[in-house]
Amino acid sequence: MNSLELSTATTQTGKRRASLRIAERIGTHNISLLVALAILVLIFGTLRGDVFFSSRNLLNIGLGITILGVLAMSQTVVIVAGGLDIAVGAIVGLTTVSTAMAIQATGSPAAGILAGLVLGGLAGLVNGIIITYG
């Protein structure tokens, strides 16, 4: 075995070890769920490819998941810190309703968004103070 073969074998072994470490961190049950999800996406894409992979549908999916993604990230921070805060959804509901009511009352989307941001920020601050010190 010459040095080129040895370095190639070492590189391939290192890559296998790295992929095994990643698989161990993720967990095999999670990988199987991702594979199942990928298979379902391919099935729907094959059966309804003209609609499923259209730019309009992908845009709708992206717009619909952004709010949920932001909520999930904020809840993840709370869980990593060792707590559990189920009031996040209630604050989002309060903020959404207050924003809609302010837009309807004033007729100005900018004023409604500002009112929603202020109310959501204050509700989050009060909630955070209660959780931290209460």
List pLDDT tens digits, range 103-122: 999 999 999 999 999 999 99
Cα separation, 106 vs 117, whole angstroms: 16
User: How far does Cα 10 stand from its chain's mean position?
Assistant: 37
Contacts of residue 123, defined as CB under 8 A and 6 or more positions apart, other chains included, come to: 91, 94, 95
Render pLDDT for 37-73 as a digit per residue (tens, 0 to 9): 889 988 888 888 778 788 888 899 888 888 888 888 8
Indicate the residue type of 30: N
- pLDDT value, residue 10: 53
Using an 8 Å Cβ cutoff, are 112 and 99 in contact? Answer: yes
Enumerate the domain spans of the chain: 1-52
Tell which residue, 67, 112, 111, has the closest CA to residue 91: 67
| pLDDT of 125 over the 60 cut | yes
